[in-house]
Structure 1
């Protein structure tokens, strides 16, 4: 049966933490649920940082992101939602009966009664190092993420960036690398204060305000990097100096693109989509969750994404059935889990 002819109660666009939890909670609300993800894998931004340790999910001890991703996916599959990978959603059409059809950029059509947008800040791409010819080193030792700490054991590492990921990588790599230097073009870091403090008190050589100005190497490997101190205008204030390196890791943030979703008529903020306290947008039947959502109580944590997802599902359920309960029964008293609990107890 094709996507247009099969009608779903709830379609979720985006397979990150908010989308995955919405898929789980949609099952708790007895909604026929479909999740569509533009990439060929689920997990959203968490896939990009498998070795990053997450501390701020309630009741979960410090756990690496890769393990959290696996657990979120496993939970999302509890009520067997339909999963569609590799489709970037572009169009939205309202049918005469009030239901909607969302269309991918390749023409696939998906028929739904309600919709949750959980696409983060849109299709995310790493901001590349803005130095001519830098791409030739990407196959060897210019990296934009850290997936295996052991690759850097005993190596001389230079990190460029000042956000959470750059600071976290510096702290993690300091334990295994021969040396770690970090350059950031501002004196102030945007990473969590405690992690910044830990970095500055470690053996990491922190250079601010500094920036990479040139990469030096034969063939496809960087051997040295020129870095320069910057003035208040962001221009070099002193002659560059060279550092010998084995690897360069760049985290200059992510660039998001909502694509054709911006043409739907949604009320947009600078980085996200505005919603009310029930996570409803200005388009009836369309809700938002996670980083996509801009609402008064927004909490920019994975835990906040979970809360957004539940609120959005509840909003969608009540949109379809105004007489429905405001929320699902908690799992400890929910009959939907009786059989599953029995299976776990055997």
Structure 2
């Protein structure tokens, strides 16, 4: 019989909160495992790899792909075990307190504590519910933007008004022949500065309109029909590409059977230590809400570190409340020496 390893902490979710938790748990000398549902680490950000992120402290504007690359590199500093392509479906506890995690593949994981960092759940783009929409999805009807350049010189209609729709409009505006944004409401969900930029630079921004029809030949959309929500007035637009961002559907259903107390928003209830009602089970990032929570990537990183510190105190009550900062942490002494021995670039 195979002897399964026991980990100090298992982090469920490989997005920003999970990745930073893995790094910080290494600083706290915890044997760490990450389990991620997707085939790669990165979480929801991987759905927007070319989206530019401005609001992470100390990080200049960076693409989603670049930020995940940096977070992943940082997370691997202390060599956590990484398991991909698995969804944890059950959580059980043995008489000695060990937590058993069972996955959809049948694999079993043993851990002393858990940090839940699966964001809003398993994300899936909300599809356009119009007749024939599915046949255009293989060509020029898009639910995410993976490469900006494929829209160069094209007439693009973007349906949606959240952060991603606004960011895509601004990112594509210098490349596309025209950008028309169609949104059901007057107000947009993006940051104020980005919304203003979109309204100033895009060809048309049509509010109180919705997408009601797609027309084309074969598998290509050639025209879209839009309708004013209040007046019913319709207009037909010629297009080369359509981008739909109507939000995400997510799945947190496995949590409901674990005995975790949830709030009115369907999120796990946590205390100031980021602990749920289950002993040894903590949570971080977009998965949770509490008074004063910062709903930014930076806030998710703080949640992760807080949860790890709580894990350490849970396992070792006499441990320090926090890890030493990296400039004074002995764990980085050898790594600092290695960096100092690297040749310095002349910059020429």
Give the TM-score band, short-chain normalised: over 0.9
Corresponding pairs, count:
340
In the alignment, the residues of structure 2 paired with residue 73 and residue 21 of structure 1 have an alpha-carbon distance, to the nearest angstrom, of 8
In the alignment, the residues of structure 2 paired with residue 273 and residue 135 of structure 1 have an alpha-carbon distance, to the nearest angstrom, of 35
Provide the residue aligned with 1:206 in structure 2. Answer: 205
1:170·1:204 contact (CA, 8 Å) conserved in 2? no
Provide the residue aligned with 2:35 in structure 1. Answer: 36
1:94·1:101 contact (CA, 8 Å) conserved in 2? yes
In the alignment, the residues of structure 2 paired with residue 241 and residue 106 of structure 1 have an alpha-carbon distance, to the nearest angstrom, of 49
Helix, strand or coil for the counterpart of 1:257? Answer: coil
Measure how far apart 1:241 and its partner are. Answer: 1.3
Structure 2 unpaired stretches of 5+: 342-348
Runs of 4+ in 1 over 6 A off after TM superposition: none
In the alignment, the residues of structure 2 paired with residue 254 and residue 45 of structure 1 have an alpha-carbon distance, to the nearest angstrom, of 10
2:8·2:32 contact (CA, 8 Å) conserved in 1? yes
1:121·1:271 contact (CA, 8 Å) conserved in 2? no
Provide the residue aligned with 2:172 in structure 1. Answer: 173
Measure how far apart 1:186 and its partner are. Answer: 0.6
Do structure 1's residue 336 and structure 2's residue 335 form an aligned pair?
Answer: no
Provide the residue aligned with 2:245 in structure 1. Answer: 251
In the alignment, the residues of structure 2 paired with residue 203 and residue 276 of structure 1 have an alpha-carbon distance, to the nearest angstrom, of 44
In the alignment, the residues of structure 2 paired with residue 146 and residue 172 of structure 1 have an alpha-carbon distance, to the nearest angstrom, of 10
Measure how far apart 1:58 and its partner are. Answer: 0.9
In the alignment, the residues of structure 1 paired with residue 74 and residue 259 of structure 2 have an alpha-carbon distance, to the nearest angstrom, of 33
Measure how far apart 1:268 and its partner are. Answer: 1.1
In the alignment, the residues of structure 1 paired with residue 103 and residue 150 of structure 2 have an alpha-carbon distance, to the nearest angstrom, of 38
1:160·1:249 contact (CA, 8 Å) conserved in 2? yes
Measure how far apart 1:297 and its partner are. Answer: 3.1
Do structure 1's residue 307 and structure 2's residue 302 form an aligned pair?
Answer: yes
Provide the residue aligned with 2:124 in structure 1. Answer: 125
Give the TM-score taking structure 2 as reference length: 0.96
Structure 1 unpaired stretches of 5+: 232-236
Higher alpha-carbon deviation: 308-317 or 258-267: 258-267
Do structure 1's residue 45 and structure 2's residue 44 form an aligned pair?
Answer: yes
Measure how far apart 1:5 and its partner are. Answer: 1.9
Per-residue Cα deviation, 1:167-216 (whole angstroms, up to 9, x for no partner): 01111111110000000001111111111111111133100100110000
Provide the residue aligned with 1:274 in structure 2. Answer: 269
Matches within 5 A, 1:1-346: 5-231=4-230, 237-269=231-263, 270-346=265-341
